[in-house]
Structures are given as structure tokens and as C-alpha cells.
Amino acid sequence: MIKFRSVVKRNLQDTEGPDKFYAQAVSDGRVDLDELAHFASRQSTVSKADCYAVLISLLELVVYHLEHGKIVKLGELGSFRMSVSSEGQELADELTASAIKKAKIIFSPGTDLKEMLKTAKFSKISA
């Protein structure tokens, strides 16, 4: 069950109009790498230390390949790719790396995560 609360925000499509209430997802704790390794080890014959080592190695490999311009597809989990935003230039030859103002990582979920979003159940909590 995904929890949400109501928050007041200005409607960006109608900034002169009244503020409205919008749903905001509320996290219900965290699961860290250590816990993931623990749970993965309980579902397999591999030790927690081995699972942890694989997860750390996976992170290092994702970083390495993103730095080298690759799209990293992790099976049904999804894929990661780089995106940049830059200042506009009048001519293509004027566009250099110094025009890049921000880089970010885009995650595209795989099939299972997309299906989870379609069937997710929500529960409103009080503010």
C-alpha cells in the first residue's frame, strides 16, 4: 500500500487561480543495500556477504558504463541513461562542453515496475 497525503500547491496552469490540494507520496521507511543483500541471501543459496559484494560491484559497473556514454539495461528492472541540459547557441559550432549546465541520470522502469504502478493501491494518511 502506497501512502499519500494532501498538500496545498499553486496551480501552475492557472497561477492567478486559487491554491489546490494535490496528492504527495509519503515514504514508509527505507531499505538499504545491506538489507537488500540480507533478503537476497535468504531467497538463495548465496551468502549475505556475497550478495552485498555483487550489489556493490553492480553499482560500480553502472557508474563506469554511464560515464562512458552507455545505456545500462538491467533486465526487467529497467535501464539507466545520461541526459544533459545546456545553454542554447546560435550555431552548432558554438556549442561546446562548457555550455552544459546540468547532467542527470534517467531511469526507465522495466515491465514489472510499470505493472506495479498500474495496480498500486493507495491509502491517504492525515497530515
> How many structural domains comprise the chain?
1
Is 93 part of a structural domain of the chain?
yes
Is 91 part of a structural domain of the chain?
yes
Condensed to tens digits (0 to 9), the pLDDT of residues 71-81 reads 999 999 999 99
Identity at 63, one-letter amino acid code: V
Rounded percentage of the chain residues whose pLDDT exceeds 90: 83
Is 96 part of a structural domain of the chain?
yes
pLDDT over 90 (residue 4): yes
pLDDT over 90 (residue 12): no
Rounded percentage of the chain residues whose pLDDT exceeds 70: 99
Q: What pLDDT is attached to residue 127?
A: 65
Q: Residue 86: enclosing H or E segment and its boundaries?
A: strand 78-86
Q: What global pTM score does this model have?
A: 0.77
Question: Which residue segment(s) compose the domain that 116 sits in?
Answer: 71-120
* Chain mean pLDDT for the chain: 93
Is 47 part of a structural domain of the chain?
no
Is 90 part of a structural domain of the chain?
yes
Is 22 part of a structural domain of the chain?
no
Q: Is 6 exposed, middle or buried (0-12, 13-18, 19+ CB in 10 A)?
A: middle
Is 43 part of a structural domain of the chain?
no
